[in-house]
Amino acid sequence: MNMYAALKLLHLACVTLSVVLFVWRWQLALQDSVMLRRNWLKFLPRVNDSLLLAAAIGLMVLSGKYPWEQAWLAAKVLALIAYIGLGSVALRARRIVVRRSAGLAALIAAAYIVSVALSKNPRGFLASI
């Protein structure tokens, strides 16, 4: 397996784990679970997201495609910032309605990111609208 294929596989695995961990932590936050305070549950997403970012940078360098040159990559980066912000609100907001709304919006942002990655179109799933 070449380096690009290995990094892409790592990136896809980390994306999947990132969303799964977010959904799990979001559900725990909606239940006000004390499990969210466990150190490993705080540490694991950080390690995974760091690997995800490293793999993304590696893919970018190996492919020679950069967000300032490719509109679809720029869209992914902007949506990632939204996903991180919304996810943070979903896990930390005091009001349950805010947690629910932000969590749902974060998942929509994640779906948008995936649709942009698959289509290489900055409109992603919005292209059909």
* pLDDT of amino acid 1: 73
Whether residue 129 has pLDDT greater than 90: no
Sign of the CA dihedral running 103, 108, 109, 115: positive
Question: In sequence order, which residues have a C-beta less than 8 Å from that of residue 7 and are 6 or more positions away?
Answer: 55, 58, 59, 62
Which amino acid does the sequence have at 109?
A
At residue 86's C-alpha, the angle toward residues 40 and 51, to 5°, is: 45
CA distance 90 to 77: 20
pLDDT in tens, 32-88: 999 888 999 889 999 999 999 999 999 999 999 998 999 999 999 999 999 999 999
Q: Which two tokens stand for residue 128?
A: 């059909």
